[in-house]
Structures are given as structure tokens and as C-alpha cells.
Amino acid sequence: MWYRRKKEGSELTRAKENKKRALEVIKATGETVKKRVEAIQYPMYNYNWQLKDIFDQMPQISQEKNEKINILMIVPWMVMGGADRFNLELLKRLDKEKFSFTVISTEPEKNGFRQEFEKYCTVYDLTTFIDQKYWPSFIEYIIRKNNINLVFNTNSEMGYSILPYLKAKNPSIPIIDYVHMEEWYNRNGGYSRDSSANESVIDKTLICNENSRKILIDYFKRKEKETQTVYIGVDKEKFNPENYDKNELIEKYNLPKDKFIISYICRITEQKRPFLLLDIIKEISTLRKDILFLIVGGGLLLNEVKAKAKKLKIMDYICFLDSTDKTQEIYSVSDITINCSIKEGLALTSYESLSMGIPVISSDVGGQKELINDEVGVIVPCLQEEEDIRNINYEKEEINLYVDAIQKILSDLDSYKSKCRKRILDGFTLEKMTEQMSSIFEEVCKNPNEEKIENGKALSKNISVTKELINKYFITDRIEYEWECEEYNKYFGFKAINYKFELFKEVMWQHRWYRGMIKLIKKTGIKDFLWKIKR
């Protein structure tokens, strides 16, 4: 057991004092309760704009001041996706002497990465403890309490809806957002549209690739000086092929040594076009037998993909693996990685694969070709329109383009592999990303956009308009939010816990040792039973 001693008092002492005070508050509060109170199950949708407006009042607070740049980061969730790992790496790597972060999440999720986030900042998941009508007021409370001097929104639709309100309340606080890609199948632009709709209050919009930045400028008419490309990058030490033994990992995953391994690492969803991959496997399996495809990941379409693979009779060429946080091991056993997506910003798997010395075949979407050149992989034209994302009958021409790309790389594999890692080291590392983000945060805080400040002051004179934007978001998001709450509570709510407990008891009762244990307790008494257990 490790125990840290501190001059100002130990964590254990503080915890005991906090517990004592908490129990006093609980007791005092309990004495005021005169009737039965039902427990509230969060997350839940309980917003009723017909009866209640956005709550817009805050308690008196004492401000926690320091000399750092205090950043409020608004995110949808904390899961294992490319955008979320970017957020986590940013928190992890920025200079703690210069920056302090508070993170607020806005979508119901398991948030498996939350503990990782909490190593570097304070986290508030709004969906788990507070009614939606209080969200704007709580965020404003955090801004005041934590002396926030920069708001950073990344991929949170709710975050975008509240930016005008926050700017109206705090005209002098600059706002930055980060856009990972435009999505024409999602509200004709997705977060790129949300960002552009809030242009009047956003000091700077950062984008993960130059192609998406160009779309913001040309299509959404954003000012060029208010946008900037910041490539996500990759941890060059974590994803270093010298740290891994390929032969050991091949044995670990029980893979053949006499086949070329092509890995497909992603969420198994429509955006990633897994059914196109199956068509590619079917076609190339008629040309060569020395290949094996690793499909690594989970998702809503996984069972359908497995069923279709069996129907196509290509299971001998596929190995399915669960999603993993040890993707570097997958790259270590791979010869190629493949990306069939209909939409990407700039895929994190492409960064990681090249850093591990593995060439990439990718659809020509987002900024993929900004990273993948002819020396380290092949870019394949995407022949499907985004609005046809649910159509899984792919053109023969597109399938053959992928097959040709696989054949091309395998015919000169060593040459491709020798250039991959250098491509990353030349400008696509996390160190480079951190350096850029640090510089941007400092510059925007030092010289906030005066035009945005004036826009904030103008909005403050009609705050009801900004509140109505939040009302609109809560109402239009209702169906999706209720579904998310239902899915979450199905597995983690009170009913789920009670059901699982009853199921556990039923299963345990069927085991002889459990029945024997109960009989022993009844026969000998608890003391004798515990003595026998100890013995």
C-alpha cells in the first residue's frame, strides 16, 4: 500500500473530516423530510419548456483564483474514440503550470475513460446528477467558481447550443471549438454547421485536417483567419514498433505465420462501411489464399457483419477480435491496415498504423490523403455519396480499386513499411499537436477577438434569445436523449441492478457448493461456519 504524506494534512484525515460533516448534513436534511421521497434515476429526460424556462440564477460563490489559463472543456462523453482520445491527450500533455482544465460532458454514456480524464482535471457529467433546466446555470456557476477564462467546445451539440448564452453572460471570455469532420448525412454538415452557426461568438475554430478547413471557408463562408488546422498526431513512443515482438504477439492472438495480415480497426457502424470490406475480402479471396483479415472492434452492426461473412463463405479469411485499448499489438502483427469509411476527419488509426511502420489503404475522405501519400499507402476514390450511406450494394469498380491497392502494397511491402514511421516523425506527433494547441490557447486568451466581445455585449441585452436556442436544442434532441437514457438505464440503472442481483442469486442457488454453504450455516451456526471457512 502506498500512502502519500502531506505537510498540510493527509487525505485520510481530510476524508474523515468530510465524512463527519457529510453525516451531519445528511442527518439535518433527513429531519426535514416529512413524507416519502422517491429516488431519482439519472440520466433522464425531464425538460418541459411549456411549464419551466431555463433556470437562470446562481448562488453566491467564492471564486478560486490562480494565475493559470483556466479552460472549460465541453465534450459529449468520455469513451474510446479518436476524438475523445484527442481530448485526453490534450489534458495529459499541456503544461500543468500554465493550464488548468474543468471538463463537462453532455450525453448519457458509460464513460469508460472518465477515470483517465480525472487524473488531469475535474469532471462533471451533467447527465448523472442534475435536471436539464439547470444545466446552463450550473455551467455558468462553474465558469465563475473556477475563474474560467477560456471555453473550449469539442464535438458537443449541446455545447454549441449554449455558446451564445455563455458569451452573453461573459463577453470577455474567448471561445474556441475543434471540428473533427463535416458530415453531410448529419444535418447537412454536422458539427461544421453547428460551428458556423455560432461564428459570431467563436474566436477561433480548429480543424483536424486541411480539407475540412477548406470546406468551412468555401462552403460555410468562415473567415480564413478565424480557422486553423491542427493535426491530432500520435504518441510516437507508445506506437513504436521496436517496443513489440511480432512473433510473440502472433502466438498470443493465435494467428498464422504464413499469411499476410490486413487489419480493419474501428467501430462496426455504417460510417465505416464494414459490408464493403466483406465484398473486398470476397473478391481478393478468389485471387490469393495467403491473406487473413482482422476485424477489430464492436458496434451495432457487428452481428450482421458476422452473419453476412458466413453467408458469403469467407469466414476462413477473417478473424474477429473485440475492441481493445492495445491497438499497438494489432498493428505489430499486421502487414496493412485498411479503412473503407464513407466519412472521416483524419482517422486516428491511420496515424497509429504509420507510426508502427504499417502502410495504410484508405478511402479518399476527409484529410486522409494529407497524411497518406504514395510512399506509405494507397488512397482509394470513394464512389458512394454520403446520402447513400445505408446502401450496401457497392459498385464493382470501387471493390476492385481496394483489391488492386492490396495487391500493389503486398508486391512491394518492405519498401512501403520502411517509409511509414518517418512520415509520422516528420510532423504528425502529439508533441507537435500539443505545441500548437498551447500556442493557440495562450494567444487567444492574450488577444481575444474584439468583434466577438462586442457581439457578446449585444447578446447580453437580449438574453432571452440565447436561452431560447437552448430550449430548442432540448426539445429537438428529446427522442435521441430519451433513447440514450433508456439504453443506459437498461444496463446500469436501479432496475438493471435489481434484476442482475436476483439473477445472480438464482444462478448461485443452482450450484451445489452454494446450497451446501446454506445448509452448513443452518446446521452449525455462523461462528462454526466462519471457522470452517477460515480453516
The residues spanned by each domain of the chain are 69-233+432-480, 241-427
The pLDDT value recorded for residue 517 is: 64
Q: What is the second-level CATH architecture of the domain 69-233+432-480? A: 3-Layer(aba) Sandwich (3.40)
Average pLDDT over residues 261-284: 95
Instruction: Write out pLDDT tens, residues 62-100.
Output: 787 888 999 999 999 998 777 888 999 999 999 999 999
| Closest by CA position to 124, among listed 60, 77, 87, 88 | 77
Which of 90, 64, 41, 221 is closest to 144 using CA atoms? 64
CA 444, 448, 451, 457 torsion-angle sign: positive
CA torsion 244→247→253→255, rounded to 10°? Answer: 140
- The position carrying cell 419548456 is 49
Residue 355's nearest CA partner among 327, 325, 374 is 327
Residue-level pLDDT at 183:
83
- Give the closest residue to 212 by CA, choosing from 338, 48, 16, 343: 343
Task: Tell me the percentage of the chain whose pLDDT exceeds 70.
Answer: 90
The set of residues, in sequence order, having a beta carbon less than 8 Å from that of 523 and lying 6+ positions away, is: none
pLDDT attached to residue 12: 76
Where is average pLDDT lowest: 179-188, 434-443, 514-523?
Answer: 514-523
Q: What is the mean pLDDT of residues 410-432?
A: 95
Question: Which pLDDT tens digit goes with each residue over 332-344?
Answer: 999 999 999 998 9
Sign of CA dihedral 341, 344, 346, 347: negative
Distance CA 122, CA 127 (A): 16
pLDDT band at 36 (very low <50, low <70, confident <90, very high): confident
- The pLDDT of residue 334 is 97
Among 371, 431, 374, smallest CA distance to 234 is for 431
Question: Is the distance from CB of 139 to CB of 166 less than 8 angstroms?
Answer: yes
| 120 close to 92: Cβ distance less than 8 angstroms | yes
The pLDDT confidence band at residue 513, using thresholds 50, 70 and 90, is low
Alpha helices in 71-123 (DSSP H): 82-93, 114-117
Q: Do domains 69-233+432-480 and 241-427 have the same CATH topology?
A: yes
Contact 139, 178 (CB under 8 A): no
The predicted structure's pLDDT at residue 527:
60
Residue-level pLDDT at 56:
79
φ, ψ of residue 296 to 5 degrees: the values are: -115, 115
| Residue located via cell numbers 503550470 | 97
Average pLDDT over residues 174-202: 92
- Going by C-alpha positions, the residue among 493, 496, 462, 477 that lies closest to residue 132 is 477
> Contact, 191 vs 366, CB < 8 A?
no
Which residue type sits at 211? N
User: How many Cβ atoms from other residues are within 10 Å of residue 490's Cβ?
Assistant: 11
Long-range contacts: 350-353, Cβ < 8 Å, 24+? 351/232, 351/233, 351/234, 351/239, 351/424, 351/428, 352/234, 352/239, 352/327, 352/328, 353/263, 353/420
What's the pLDDT tens digit per position in 444-457?
A: 999 999 999 999 99
Taking the CA atoms of the chain, what radius of gyration do you get in angstroms?
Answer: 27
Provide the grid cell at 59: 448562488
**Residue 300: which pLDDT band, with cuts at 50, 70 and 90?**
confident
Topology given in CATH for the domain delimited by 241-427: Rossmann fold (3.40.50)
3 state SS of 121: coil
The x, y and z cell numbers of residue 361, run together, are: 489503404
Report CA-CA distances (Å) from 138 to 15, 58, 123, 251, 436: 25, 8, 13, 52, 31
* Whether the predicted pLDDT of 534 surpasses 60: no
Give the mean model confidence (pLDDT) for residues 504-510. 60
Residue 475: left (phi > 0), alpha (psi -120 to 50), or beta? alpha
Residue 204 or 29, more confident? 204
Under DSSP, the state recorded for 243 is G
